Every structure is written in C-alpha cells, then in structure tokens.
C-alpha cells in the first residue's frame, strides 16, 4: 500500500468482514472476468518519493528554463514578468490549492470572495461590466467569445484579424469543425488589420469581428475602425486584450468592445511550459446571460451578512445540459486567485509601472536591434512590449544560435507574417530585462546574424 492510503491490514480485514467479503478482489465481482486485467498494468512498481523526485529533477535538468542562463526575450502570449514571493506564497496556500469547485458556499467563502475580487479586477482592466470566474486560456476564451456572438446574433460568419495570436486562431478553427462557424482571416498591412480587405465573396455579415489589442506583432490596432465596422454590420466586437499593457492603454471597453478576452498568464503565473494559464473573459451586461462558465455574485446569508455564491447557474452545463451556453465545468480558479493576489500586489501604481517599463524596454531593445546590419522592422507604427523584425537569416536558426549563447531571442514568426518568408522574429521585453541584458543581447545578436 502506498504512503497515501491509511489502511492497515487489520482495517482491510475488518472492512471486508463487515461487507461479508473475503478479499479485495471480491469487490470487483461485478466486472466480467473476461475483461479484468490479468497480470496488472505493464508499468514499473511504485518508487519512494525521493527516487521519483530525483527522476523529475533529471527531467527538469534536461530543460533550459528562463533565468540567468537563458535570458528571456520571447513572448507570443507567454511573458516573463515579475512573480514576487508574496504571490507564490499566497497562491500556494493549501486551502486554495486543495479545494473543489465552490458548490457549498458556506464553506467556500475564501475562494468565492477571491474570485469575486478577480472578476472586479478584470472588469476594471477590460472596461466591461462583467467578468466570469476564468476559462482555460486565451484561446479558450476566444472560442467562447465567438460562441457568445453566435448566440447573440445567430450569425455564423466570423471575421478574425490575422493579428490575433495564430495558435488561438488555430484553436478557433478546430472548434469551428463542431459549431460550423465560418472563420474568415482579415490580413494585416504594416502590422495593422486591413479591414478594407473584408469583401469576402462567400460571407454574410459577421456575427463577430475579432481583433487583438495590442496585436500579435505588438502593434496598436485602430479599434475605432473595428467598432465602426461592427456598427455597420451588426457584429459584436471581440477584443483580445493584454492585461499588462492595459496598465497604460485605453481599455477595450472605452473603445466599445462587446466582449473582451485575454491570456492572464502575465498576472502572476510562471511560464510553466504553457500551462496552467488563465483565460480572461469579460462582456457587457447585455450579454451576462450568455456568459460561459462560472460567475460569482454577492448576496447575503440567512443572518443578512455579506456572502458570495456562484450565480446565474441556469446558463451552465450541469443544469442546462445540451442547451448550456458552454460545456466548461472545471476552469482555472487557482490561477484567478493568483491573478487577484498579483493585481493586489501591483496595485494602481505598480500596474502602470510594469506596462510602462515593458514598453520602454521594448523600445530600447528594438532601437538596438535595428542597428544590427541586415535587421529590419516588419512594422513601422508604435509598439508596446513586443515587436516584429525581419532578419537576414532564417529566424528559427537564429533563435537556436542565440540559445547557445544564453538568450531566448524570441519566437520565429509564421511566414504569413513576413510576406511568406521564414525570416520574421517576434521579440518581447518585460520590466524584468535590464539595460545590461538588452545590450548584451544586441551585441550577441549581431554576431549570430553575421
């Protein structure tokens, strides 16, 4: 028996006796003998924790984490922002970590209130009135936003800017196989969505227009134009925003977004090889009854004291079944709690400071890299935190070369962002990058592309 099951032989004997059984195998008498696994699973025997820990340390040692030995200039949806000890400590409290979905609010006020605070913070960041309790990741939030727009408009055509993160667009395409939504790609011109190119011959008016702010290449889209397009066609405006850049940028709500989605990893989650991250989802009050997933609301208890509970439950799968607004059940609550802690730590001034310092670092780094012979900008307008370059060499190769020199140089762009060539590179700079790191990066970069 493992160290995690408390049963002694005497306990087992007594319990089997109570049930009138003579062996543990008798518990499975209902399983047809022909189906039962003879000889057990073909897996190694269990190992003591220290042995397993050593094995996992070996695996970890075969990776190159971001840090002193691999200075991170990569982003593309996963950013190396500061995660302070206080966020790590509070987010790893076992009351938050080892509880289930708050089905019994009388003993779940801790998680419920933390999520209520998270929802409030997301509405302030996004500028919309209501936020859910989280979804899996940015891509999942995008999928749900398009489904919400379909529910609201009954239209299945969706116009998606090419400036929306390409992996999110891939996920959207995967899900469209089930929903039947028709996804139309709107191209970029100089890094900005070219809405004039939306004369899709095969498309009706869209149910949703999706644009990213800042977009995948770090550029600032003209959301007023996207809003006008929605006003003209009756589509909902879905904005994929970045919660950190929102510290200095106009909120999507101010631009007139109907739905805001985003990736919340930058709000206190480590890079984590891509997960668990945090899908952000906010909408106007008009659409609250179409909101996917859980929503926490404030109420009172039997004595009139303030209390919190999951609400508008009739939207959800366990009640509504095949007519639910979404199939989501398990979400990313612990990450939402983490984000609430991180945003509390940053506060009003820190949030603006992180965004500003990231933008400064990006400007300084971009200016430096553009002095490297053969390196050219892929876009010319203003950028925040992230920017796209054209290199004189295949960018994936440059990334590998620079990794050998201690820099994660960025993310090689899909050729569709670089006029079909494999030489586009996306570089991100956060508030954690020092001038010395950036200077060393630029000089090493110069050697790598020579």
Partner 1 sequence: MVDDLIPAPAAGGRAASAPLLGRDTEPTLFELSEPGRSSWQLRTTGVPEIPLDELVPERHRRRLPLDLAEVSERDLVGHFTRLSHRQFSVDLGAYPLGSCTMKYNPKICDAVAALPGLADVHPAAPANCVQGWLELLVELEAALCEITGMTAATVQPAAGAAGELTGLLLMRAWHGARGDTRHKVVIPDSAHGTNPASVTLAGFDVVTVPSDGRGCVDVEALHAVLDEDVAGIMLTNPNTLGLFEEDIRAIADAVHGVGGLLYYDGANLNAILGIVRPGDMGFDIVHLNLHKTFATPHGGGGPGAGPVAVSERLAPFLPGPRPIRVGDASSPRYGWSTPERSIGRLHSWHGNALVLARALTYVLVHGSDGLRDVARLAVLNANWLRKRLSSSFDAPYDRPCMHECVLSASSLKRATGVKALDVAKRLLEEGFHAPTVYFPLIVDEALMIEPTETESLQTLEALAGALERIVADAATPEGALAATEAPHLTPVRRVDEARAARHLVPTFDARTS
CB atoms within 10 A of CB 216: 28
**CA–CA separation, 411 and 79 (whole Å):** 12
**Of residues 134 and 161, the one with the C-beta less far from partner 1:** 134
CA-to-CA distance for 367 and 221, rounded, in angstroms?
21
Binding mask 254-293 for partner 1 (x = CB under 8 A): x--------x------xxxxxxxx----------x-----
Q: Which is nearer to partner 1, 63 or 201 (CB)?
A: 63
Closer residue to partner 1 (CB): 177 or 199: 177
Write out the DSSP string of 76-103.
TT-------HHHHHHHT-HHHHT----S
Answer for which of 203, 352, 393, 440 binds partner 1 (CB under 8 A) is 352
Considering only 101-109, 152-160, 229-237, 386-394, which stretch makes contact with partner 1 by CB under 8 A? 101-109
Among 183, 197, 228, 356, binds partner 1 (CB under 8 A): 356
Residue 319 lies near partner 1 (rule: CB under 8 A): yes
- Is 347 a binding residue for partner 1 by CB under 8 A? The answer is yes
C-alpha dihedral sign at 66, 68, 69, 70: positive
- Which of 9, 40, 201, 373 forms a contact with partner 1 (CB under 8 A)? 40
Q: Are 263 and 126 in contact (CB under 8 A)?
A: no
> Does 369 engage in binding with partner 1 (CB under 8 A)?
no
Closest to partner 1 by CB, 97 vs 196, is 97
The size of the chain, in residues, is 450
CB-nearer residue toward partner 1: 153 or 317: 317
- 207-236 binders of partner 1 (CB under 8 A): 220
Min dist CB 199 to partner 1, Å, is: 27
Among 22, 86, 196, 419, binds partner 1 (CB under 8 A): 86
- Nearest approach, Cβ of residue 270 and partner 1 (Å): 4
Which span (155-163, 346-354, 369-377, 440-448) binds partner 1, by CB under 8 A?
A: 346-354
Q: Write out the H or E segment, with its range, that includes residue 343.
A: helix 333-369
Q: What are phi and psi of 128, to 5 degrees?
A: -110, 165
Our finding on whether 96 is near partner 1 (CB under 8 A) is yes
- Token pair in block for residue 362: 């990006």
CB-side neighbour CA atoms (13 Å) of 68: 0
Token code pair at residue 251: 């909120």
| Residue found by looking up tokens 């020199």 in the block | 405
Minimum distance of partner 1 from residue 239's CB (angstroms): 13
Stretch that binds partner 1, among 149-157, 204-212, 240-248, 417-425 (CB under 8 A): 240-248
The contact pattern for partner 1, residues 159-198, with x = CB under 8 A and - = no contact, is ------x-xx-xx-xxx-xxxx------------------
CB 139, CB 150: distance < 8 Å: no
Structure tokens at 56: 């996992």
Residue 294 is a binding residue for partner 1 (CB under 8 A): yes
What is the Cα 3 distance to its own chain's centre?
35
Binding mask 378-417 for partner 1 (x = CB under 8 A): ----x-x-----------x--xx--x----x--x------
C-beta separation of 315 from 289 below 8 A: yes
Q: Which residue is it, tokens 């993310």?
A: 411
If DSSP codes are grouped into helix, strand and coil, which group holds residue 136? Answer: coil
298-306's contacts with Cβ under 8 Å and 24+ in sequence apart are 298/116, 301/106
Q: Which is nearer to partner 1, 235 or 438 (CB)?
A: 438
């Amino acid at each position: 028996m493992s160290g995690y099951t408390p049963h002694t032989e005497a306990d087992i004997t007594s319990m089997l006796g109570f049930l009138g059984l003579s062996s543990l195998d008798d518990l499975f008498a209902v399983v047809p003998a022909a189906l039962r696994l003879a000889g057990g699973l073909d897996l190694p025997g269990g190992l003591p924790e220290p042995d397993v820990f050593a094995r996992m340390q070996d695996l970890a040692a075969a990776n190159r984490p971001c840090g002193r030995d691999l200075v991170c200039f990569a982003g593309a949806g996963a950013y190396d922002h500061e995660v302070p000890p206080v966020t790590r400590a509070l987010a790893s409290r076992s009351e938050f970590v080892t509880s289930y979905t708050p089905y019994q609010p009388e003993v779940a006020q801790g998680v419920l209130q933390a999520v209520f605070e998270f929802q409030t913070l997301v509405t302030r960041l996004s500028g919309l009135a209501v936020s859910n309790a989280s979804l899996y990741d940015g891509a999942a939030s995008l999928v749900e936003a398009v489904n919400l727009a379909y529910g609201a408009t009954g239209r299945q055509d969706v116009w998606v800017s090419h400036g929306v993160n390409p992996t999110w667009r891939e996920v959207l395409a995967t899900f469209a196989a089930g929903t039947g939504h028709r996804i139309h790609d709107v191209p970029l011109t100089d890094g900005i969505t070219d809405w004039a190119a939306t004369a899709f011959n095969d498309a009706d008016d869209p149910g949703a227009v999706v644009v990213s702010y800042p977009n995948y290449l770090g550029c600032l889209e003209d959301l007023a134009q996207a809003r006008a397009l929605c006003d003209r066609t009756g589509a909902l405006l879905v904005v994929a925003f970045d919660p950190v850049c929102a510290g200095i940028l106009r909120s999507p709500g101010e631009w007139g977004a109907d739905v805001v989605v985003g990736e919340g990893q930058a709000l206190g989650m480590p890079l984590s090889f891509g997960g668990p991250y945090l899908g952000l989802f906010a909408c106007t009050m008009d659409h609250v009854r179409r909101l996917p997933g859980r929503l926490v609301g404030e109420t009172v208890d039997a004595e009139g004291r303030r209390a919190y509970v999951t609400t508008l439950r009739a939207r959800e799968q366990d009640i509504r079944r095949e007519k639910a607004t979404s199939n989501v059940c398990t979400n990313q609550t612990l990450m939402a709690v983490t984000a609430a802690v991180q945003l509390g730590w940053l506060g009003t001034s820190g949030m603006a400071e992180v965004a500003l310092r990231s933008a400064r670092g990006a400007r300084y780094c971009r200016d430096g890299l553009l002095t490297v012979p053969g390196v050219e900008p892929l876009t010319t307008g203003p950028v925040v935190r992230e920017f796209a370059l054209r290199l004189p060499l295949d960018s994936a190769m440059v990334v590998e070369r620079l990794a050998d020199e201690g820099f994660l140089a960025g993310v090689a762009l899909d050729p569709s962002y670089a006029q079909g060539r494999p030489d586009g590179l996306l570089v991100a700079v956060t508030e954690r990058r020092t001038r010395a790191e950036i200077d060393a990066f630029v000089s090493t970069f110069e050697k790598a592309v020579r």
